[in-house]
Amino acid sequence: MLVVTLVAASLAIITVDYRAGEQGPLAAAGRATSSALAPLQQAVSNVVQPVSNFFSSLAKLPSLSRRNKELQQQVDDLKTAQQENQDLSRRIDSLEQLLGLQAITSHTIAARVIASGVSNFEWSITIDRGTDDGIQVDMPVVTGASDGPRLVGRVIRVTPISSVVQLIIDRDFAVAGKLSTSQEAGLVMGRGEEDLRMGHLRPGIQVSPTDPESVFTLGYEVNGQRGLYPPGILIGTVSRAFSEPDSVESSVTIRPAVDFSTLQYVLVIARNPARPGEVP
Amino acid sequence: MRRTAVLVAVIVTALLLQTAVFPQLTLLHVKPELLYLVTVIFAVLLGPGEGAVVGFVSGLAQDFMLNMPKGITALTLTLLGYTVGLARQYITSPSPLLPAVLVALGTAGGVAFHQVVTFLLGEEEGPFSYAAKVILVTAVYGAVLTPIFFPVLRRAAAATQAGRVVRF
């Protein structure tokens, strides 16, 4: 009798949650649970993170010397590139002023990763900032320097003291992207453990194995409604191009720019709230 | 009161380990399913009724942390706790490996059942190959972790049974 009651209760919960969605009592209970667990997750993370960092550093010791040389080479290359970028940036600023364009006003909120998703079938993280810090659902989350951000995901649930961020590799994640050189736009979708996939590209697209193309977020505006993600956030680099049989379009797979297994700090982009009704 | 407190402590600890510790200790990029392990061990020690109750509460707690329809994990773990508790009554093997075997089989069956229900509800979660990998790895991982968690959970189970002595 007891087990029948519990099974019936489970089925009732599934039904109620399906009908009520994010506004229902069960979603509210979920937020309350997340809120109650966040301080504990933070405390556990404070203890576990240094130990984890120590062991991962030990594991990486043999490759550090080689990696150091590679990074030194990259620094030299980047110094040259930076010089060129500064010139280009000055030209873009002056052109934008001429055209009367305005940069998207936004500020960022730094947050620490305190936990990962509970399931093997959802790719998410929990951060230690919530509505008390100005975070809202659907805000984009990035990592790296604010002048060279890399896309981490978007906020999908908030409590006063913590937020859950859906990672770009989650199977329910989608974002409009743009290839860096060909400027082709397409829809980038998460595929869990596998590389991301960007579809709706013209047939016969090629990928250079030596100089892979980067993929950035595509800022857009439809009927006055702006997309969730500001333009120019690095999503990843193209790893493979392919076409499905009998398909009139091509797709590419994208290796994410972020290493999610070592992610510790992120920036939440709090965009100008003066424009409600934004669409993804 | 004591029973509720012990149960809450066990479930909260399992959730914390699952979200804040085991993401750093994955096996082939797969985390263990600690709440499945807790449910199976409680069912083995306390029988089908208690197994179902622990499964329901554990599942509901995990559902609240997920971005998918709530209740699916509660349903899965209720049935898992009841089934394992029932099966345990008919198994007479004295093998010390029995809990690990039951955790492996229970986790594999539970995760597979969860995936089937999720699929039937239209919440597809990826290719079959990935689901098969998760089922296999969580089963093995659960069996490996059982010798570590079993003594602790046996004490917790005993604490929930005021005036009763649990021997296994």
**Is A58 part of the contact surface with chain B (CB cutoff 8 Å)?**
no
B163/A40: higher pLDDT = A40
Within a domain: A136? no
pLDDT of residue A247: 73
pLDDT of residue A278: 46
pLDDT of residue A21: 76
Where residue A241 sits, what CATH number does that domain have?
A: 2.40.10.350
Residues A202/A204/A210/A213 CA torsion (nearest 10 deg): 0
Residue A178 shares a structural domain with residue A237: yes
Whether A120 and B21 lie within 8 Å, measured CB to CB = no
| DSSP character at residue A184 | -
Total structural domains within chain A: 3
Burial of A230 (0-12, 13-18, 19+ CB in 10 A): middle
Whether A166 and B67 lie within 8 Å, measured CB to CB = yes
Note whether ipTM > 0.90 here: no
- State the number of CA atoms in the 13 A half-sphere of A201 facing the CB: 29
Within a domain: A214? yes
Q: Give the residue from A126, A99, A96 showing the smallest Cα distance to A111.
A: A126
Q: Which of A99, A119, A149 is the last residue of a domain?
A: A99
Residue A178 shares a structural domain with residue A246: yes
Within a domain: A34? yes
Residue A73 shares a structural domain with residue A51: no
Backbone phi, psi, residue A274, to 5°: -75, -5
Within a domain: A212? yes
Sorted by where each starts, the structural domains of chain B and their CATH numbers stand as 2-158 (1.10.1760)
Name every residue whose Cβ is closer than 8 Å to that of residue A246 and which is 6 or more positions away in sequence.
Answer: none
Which residues does chain A have with pLDDT short of 70? 56-57, 59-60, 94-106, 145-147, 209, 271-280
Chain A residues in contact with B68 (beta carbon < 8 A): 122
For B111-134, what is the mean pLDDT? Answer: 87
Within a domain: A45? yes
Range of the domain at A74: 65-99
For residue A225, give the 3-state DSSP assignment: strand
Asked whether the beta carbons of B19 and A41 are under 8 A apart, the reply is yes
The C-alpha atoms of residue A224 and residue B62 are separated, in whole angstroms, by 40
pLDDT of residue A129: 93
Q: Give the residue from A167, A169, A161 showing the smallest Cα distance to A134.
A: A161
Within a domain: A127? no
Residue A15 shares a structural domain with residue A48: yes
Residue A23 shares a structural domain with residue A71: no
| DSSP character at residue A121 | T
B108/A48: higher pLDDT = B108
| DSSP character at residue B18 | I
Within a domain: A234? yes
The C-alpha atoms of residue B158 and residue A163 are separated, in whole angstroms, by 37
Within a domain: A165? no
pTM (predicted TM-score): 0.82
Residue A50 shares a structural domain with residue A75: no
pLDDT of residue B1: 77
- Nearest Cα of chain B lies from the Cα of A93 at a distance, in angstroms, of 42
